[in-house]
Amino acid sequence: HPSIIINSTPEAQIFPAESSLDGKIKSLGKTPFMLKNFDLEEINWRIWAVGYKDSILNFVPNPMGKNIFEIKLEPEKDPVVINMQTLIAKKLKKQQIAKVLKYSSIAPLLLGPTFVWLAHNDFTEAKDIKKDLEQPSSGSGPHFDKLKQKNADAIHLGKNTVLIGSSLHFTGVLMLTIGISLDC
C-alpha cells in the first residue's frame, strides 16, 4: 500500500507549508507521521519544532510504494525566533486543550438531561405510590410499610439522579464554555 512516512529528529509538528503559524493553526500531525490516504499531487509541508529551524518538505508522492522521509532539524540560534516559536507552541497547546474540552463536553451534555429524565420517572413512581398510600386503609401492616419504604427509596433515588444529571450537565456546559473561550 502506498504511504507517506515522516520521521524527524527531534519530534516535530507538520503543517501545510503555505500556512503562517499565526491565527488558527491546524497541525496535520506529529512525527513520527504516517499517512495512507492522500492525493497524488505535489505536497508541501512544514516540519516545525520549538528551538529548531523549519524544514520544508516538497515532493510528489510515489503512488506505488512507501514515501519515507528522515528529517534532521537544525537548531535555531536566534533567541527572537525561539521566543516566537515558544509563543506559537503555547497557542497550539491551548488550541489542542480547547478541542479536547469541546469534544469531551458532548457526553456530559447528553447524559445530564438523560439522568434528569430518569429522575422524573423516579419521582412519578413516588407520586403514584403516594396516591396508593393515601387510599383509605388501616395505615399499617407489612404492605403499607413496604409501599412507604418503596416511596422513600424512589424519592431518594430521584434526588440522587437529579444531582448526578445536573452535575453532568453543569460539567458539560463548563467544559464547552472553557473550550470555546480557549479557542478564541
Region of 141 (left: φ > 0; alpha: ψ -120 to 50; beta: rest) is: left
* Mean pLDDT of all residues belonging to the chain: 88
Q: Do 113 and 165 form a contact (C-beta atoms < 8 A)?
A: yes
- Overall pTM surpassing 0.75 (yes/no): no
Q: What is the pLDDT of residue 82?
A: 93
Cβ contacts of residue 95 below 8 Å, gap of 6+? 24, 25, 182, 183
Report percent pLDDT > 70 for the chain: 96
Asked whether residue 4 carries a pLDDT value surpassing 90, the answer given is no
User: Per-residue pLDDT tens for 96-141?
Assistant: 899 999 999 999 999 999 999 999 999 999 998 888 888 776 567 7
Please give the Cα distance from 181 to 90 (Å, whole number).
15
Instruction: Assign 23 a pLDDT band (cuts: 50, 70, 90).
Output: low
Asked whether residue 170 carries a pLDDT value surpassing 90, the answer given is yes
Q: Under DSSP, is residue 178 helix (H, G, I), strand (E, B) or coil?
A: helix
The residue count of the chain comes to 184
CATH H-level, domain 3-96: superfamily: Carboxypeptidase-like, regulatory domain (2.60.40.1120)
